[in-house]
């Protein structure tokens, strides 16, 4: 893995009500003297995100421009037409997840009464990896034998694999992270090894419970012990391929999380946020614009009501890219917490020019 995403505890900040969040953003941009401000969103095209987009426009008294696609993928080049529609830009975006969590997956009730995973696209792409991980964490077993702890690994994870990649994911073990030395003996489905000393030291407490009867390795099969391979085609631009390519390197981190659906949403938001920020500083002709970007996780309590967890921030003043400021989750929440909550003077219907 070339770089690790921010740890889960850093991103797990208190959720904010939308009007509280947007009101604080409006006060922040007003204090920074934003002018002709165009609100912009990047988010999934799911219906659960529609009211959020409308309220963002309402607080800024201007309908929001859309940068996003299904799965909360971002198209940074849409900033070019957006720049013709406003002067200064305030952008909010990120992935979303259903507020009702079961076995690590977020669910929401749809309009026809059925409860479904949300974001469904993230869940669908994650499922094959989850299946591979759950199978391996069940089939690989630990037990206590003469001389200490042992690990039994099935042949399917030991036999030499083809170096060719495939169009669907495969799980492979970092064997040296699990075993010490050569096999001790054959078993019915694989081989038995001494358990790696570093692994044993890392998990001293849970391993104390291991007895003579083999038990699945379970969650102790951590991201250091395995990896996935798959044919990654970066020339494909359909949403599924683009999203999978974006998060593929981090799938071991995702599937081992206690809340894998949420972790995938956070990792996707992190990747898309830095893609957008890099575009703004390296490629976008910003002139002397002010640009504020706030990214985070939207929690869908229903298809109408959301809360938002701010996780990543970017603030560029007067087009000075080299002086742009980045905020991690605690810093961003502190910044927002210092702002007053702006309250629109119009009703929503007045804003919408409905009389």
List the domain boundaries for the chain.
8-121+258-351, 126-255
165 confidence band (pLDDT: 50, 70, 90): low
What average pLDDT does range 230-247 have in this prediction?
84
- Cβ(30)–Cβ(275) under 8 Å? no
pLDDT of residue 235: 78
The tens digit of pLDDT for each residue in 111-157 reads: 999 999 999 999 999 999 999 999 999 999 999 988 899 999 999 99
What average pLDDT does range 237-259 have in this prediction?
91
What average pLDDT does range 275-296 have in this prediction?
92
Burial of residue 271 (CB within 10 Å: 0-12, 13-18, 19+) is buried
% pLDDT > 70, the chain: 98
CA 7 distance to own-chain centroid: 11
pLDDT of residue 69: 82
Of 4, 89, 6, 92, the C-alpha closest to 42 is: 92
99 confidence band (pLDDT: 50, 70, 90): very high
Interacting residues of 254 by C-beta distance below 8 A, sequence separation 6+: 126, 129, 247, 260, 263, 264, 267
The tens digit of pLDDT for each residue in 167-178 reads: 789 999 999 999
The tens digit of pLDDT for each residue in 27-85 reads: 999 999 999 999 999 998 889 999 999 999 999 999 999 988 888 888 888 888 888 89
Instruction: Say how far apart CA 65 and CA 330 lie, in whole Å.
Output: 28
Q: CB count, 10 Å around CB of 205? A: 7
Of 247, 323, 253, the C-alpha closest to 281 is: 323
- What is the sign, positive or negative, of the torsion defined by CA atoms of 223, 98, 43, 31? negative
- Cβ(123)–Cβ(72) under 8 Å? no
Q: CB count, 10 Å around CB of 111? A: 8
Least confident of 209-213, 215-219, 283-287, 297-301: 283-287
% pLDDT > 90, the chain: 79
Phi/psi at 145 (5° precision): -130, -170
Of 109, 139, 118, 111, the C-alpha closest to 46 is: 118
Tell me the sheet residues that pair with 89.
38, 291
pLDDT of residue 134: 97
Q: What is the pTM of this model?
A: 0.91
pLDDT of residue 286: 83
Instruction: Say how far apart CA 98 and CA 121 lie, in whole Å.
Output: 12
Asked whether the predicted pLDDT for residue 162 surpasses 70, the reply is no
Instruction: Say how far apart CA 37 and CA 60 lie, in whole Å.
Output: 8
Average per-residue pLDDT in the chain?
Answer: 92
């Amino acid at each position: 893995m070339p770089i690790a995403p921010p740890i889960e505890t850093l991103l797990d900040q208190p959720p904010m009500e939308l009007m509280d969040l947007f009101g604080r953003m409006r006060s922040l941009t007003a204090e920074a003297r934003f002018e002709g401000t165009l609100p912009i969103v990047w988010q999934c095209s799911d219906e659960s995100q529609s009211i959020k987009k409308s309220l963002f426009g309402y607080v800024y008294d201007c309908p929001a421009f859309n940068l996003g696609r299904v799965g909360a993928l971002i198209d940074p080049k849409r900033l070019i037409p957006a720049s013709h529609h406003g002067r200064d830009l305030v952008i909010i975006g990120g992935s979303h997840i259903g507020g009702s969590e079961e076995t690590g997956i977020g669910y929401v009730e749809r309009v026809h009464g059925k409860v479904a995973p949300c974001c469904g696209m993230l869940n669908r792409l994650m499922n094959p990896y989850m299946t591979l991980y759950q199978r391996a964490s069940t089939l690989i077993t630990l037990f206590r034998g003469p001389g200490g702890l042992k690990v039994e690994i099935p042949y399917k994870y030991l036999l030499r694999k083809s170096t060719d990649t495939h169009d669907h994911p495969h799980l492979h073990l970092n064997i040296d992270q699990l075993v010490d030395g050569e096999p001790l003996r054959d078993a019915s489905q694989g081989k038995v090894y001494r358990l790696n000393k570093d692994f044993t030291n890392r998990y001293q407490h849970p391993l104390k419970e291991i007895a003579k009867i083999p038990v699945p390795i379970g969650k102790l099969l951590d991201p250091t012990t395995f990896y996935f391979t798959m044919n990654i085609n970066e020339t494909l631009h359909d949403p599924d391929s683009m999203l999978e390519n974006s998060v593929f390197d981090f799938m071991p981190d995702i599937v081992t999380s206690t809340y894998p659906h949420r972790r995938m949403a956070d990792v996707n938001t992190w990747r898309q946020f830095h893609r957008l920020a890099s575009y703004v500083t390296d490629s976008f002709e910003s002139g002397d614009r002010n640009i504020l970007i706030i990214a985070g996780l939207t929690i869908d309590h229903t298809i109408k009501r959301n809360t938002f967890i701010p996780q990543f921030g970017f603030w560029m003043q007067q087009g000075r890219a080299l002086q742009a400021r980045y905020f991690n989750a605690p810093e961003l929440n502190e910044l927002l917490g210092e702002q007053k909550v702006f309250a629109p003077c119009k009703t929503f219907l007045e804003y919408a020019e409905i009389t």
